[in-house]
Amino acid sequence: MDETLRAEIDGYISRRARNPNALLPSTISIQGYILSDERSKDAIPQELSTLKDGTYRLKLNDISYRVAVEDKNGERYFMLFNEERQREREQMFTVYLAMAALIMTLLSSWAGWWLAGRAVAPIRELAKRVSSADPGDDTDAVAQGFSSDEIGQLAQVFSAYLKRMRDFINRERNFTSDVSHELRTPLTIVQGVLELMEDDKLLQEKQRERIAKIGRANSDMVNLTNALLLMARENTDEAYIQTCDVSKVVEVAIESNRHLLSKNTLVNSKYLSNPHIEAERTLLSIVVSNLIRNAFTFTPSGSVTVLVDDNSIIVKDTGTGIRSEEIGKVFQKHFKGTGSPGSGIGLSLVKRICDRYKWEIILISTEGQGTSAQLIFRK
């Protein structure tokens, strides 16, 4: 502004030298005055009359001006620059600049998003293929269409992994099929022989008891084999899902394990409801039988109470209980508590079955006072 004012003063002085009647600048932005004698003081604003050579800022009629004063040839020249107009232009420029910056930011963001989409498109496609891939499908299809860059190498790795998984599943299926046949066949033969032996009327009582014990062990082995084979199948295998009458499963479990009861132990069964749940009956029987078998085995005297309500089974005994340092380990595989005659498989299998169906198993025990086991079904 100062340079503009000085240039206006110099320009006007040059014009006045050529034409003494040259008009002073008088525009919206620039206003000029000249003080040549005392008589001309009345023609200029009073605020200007006292100003000496230099540049100033002052207000005239509430308008801010930038003022340049120059003495030359015995005259004093005044040039005023309207700062309000300049300020408005600067504000407008700031608005335009902000709008331009916003538009550039939006364009850059859109361009970045578009480029990022192009960059991650192969990764998205690979993730889609891997998530929908099945080991039974053509595993090479996962890597088809990708270039030989890092994404292509990753696709090849996934393809090789799916191929290994398919081979592993085939081996597992073959193993399960072979085990199912090779174990069930001899167990069925043993069961048939035991039934024939039980029909022998010449057997003595001791012999019958031993045969019955062998039969129960064989039956337990059949149930355990069936349970393990069922657990090897996927949860989505609906062919093995049945509607189970919980009360009947409990009754069968009590009767099949009654031989474990001592003469000083009483069994109380209470059926407050008659729930039915969707599950493999064999797996439900394994869980219930394990809880009842443990209660019968570890209660040398006292009572065992089995309660069935709308959503759970509670097996409570007054037996030997479980040590506090062992209660947190009973569901670990092959863990055997103090004095336990088992192999440590029963409760770990119970926990796996409960996890399969999202059932909850709660054990509360006090050493020397008994144990309470609650099986809560998923609603």
Same domain (yes/no): 238, 372: yes
Q: Are 241 and 369 part of one and the same domain? A: yes
In a domain, 32, yes or no: yes
Residue 16's CATH number: 3.30.450.20
173 domain residue, yes or no = yes
User: What's the pLDDT at 92?
Assistant: 92
Q: Which residue has the higher pLDDT, 316 or 163?
A: 316
Q: Is residue 215 part of a domain?
A: yes
Task: Using DSSP, state whether 5 is helix, strand or coil.
Answer: helix
Residue 324: what pLDDT?
A: 85
Give the three-class secondary structure for 109.
helix
Question: Which of 331, 236, 340, 351 is CA-nearest to residue 283?
Answer: 351
Q: Which of 192, 227, 262 is the last residue of a domain?
A: 227
More confident residue, 139 or 103: 103
- Examine residue 120 and state whether it is found in any structural domain, yes or no: no
Same domain? 243 vs 221? no
**pTM across the whole model:** 0.53
- Given 227, 251, 275, the domain boundary residue is 227
> Average pLDDT for residues 303-320, to the nearest whole number?
94
The DSSP secondary structure of 55-68, one letter per residue, reads EEEEEETTEEEEEE
> In this structure, is residue 95 part of a structural domain?
no
Residue 351 sits in the same domain as residue 261: yes
Q: Which of 87, 115, 142 delimits the end of a domain?
A: 87
CA-CA distances (angstroms) from residue 30 to 9, 20, 72, 204, 223? Answer: 11, 20, 20, 134, 106
Do residue 196 and residue 68 come from a single domain? no
Q: For residue 153, give both structure tokens.
A: 């190498």
Contact 300, 321 (CB under 8 A): no
The alpha carbons of the chain give a radius of gyration, in whole angstroms, of 49
Instruction: Return d(Cα 36, Cα 75) in angstroms, integer.
Output: 5
Same domain for 364 and 272: yes
* Boundaries of domain holding 68: 2-87
74 φ/ψ sector (left φ>0, alpha ψ -120 to 50, else beta): left
Structure tokens at 363: 């054990």
Kindly write down the DSSP assignment for every residue of 132-201, as one continuous string. Answer: H--TTS-GGGGTTT--SSHHHHHHHHHHHHHHHHHHHHHHHHHHHHHHHHHHHHHHHHHHHHHHHHHT-T
Residue 92 lies in a domain: no
Per residue in 16-72, pLDDT tens?
Answer: 888 888 888 888 888 888 888 766 666 788 888 888 889 998 888 888 888 999 888
Closest CA to 262 of 307, 306, 222, 295: 295
364 and 238 co-located in one domain = yes
The dihedral region occupied by 207, where left means phi > 0, alpha psi between -120 and 50, and beta the remainder, is alpha
Per-residue pLDDT of 210-250, as tens digits, reads 888 888 788 777 777 777 777 766 554 554 577 899 999 99
Can you give the pLDDT at residue 180? Answer: 66
To 5 degrees, how large is the angle CA 36–CA 39–CA 42? 100
137 is a domain residue: no
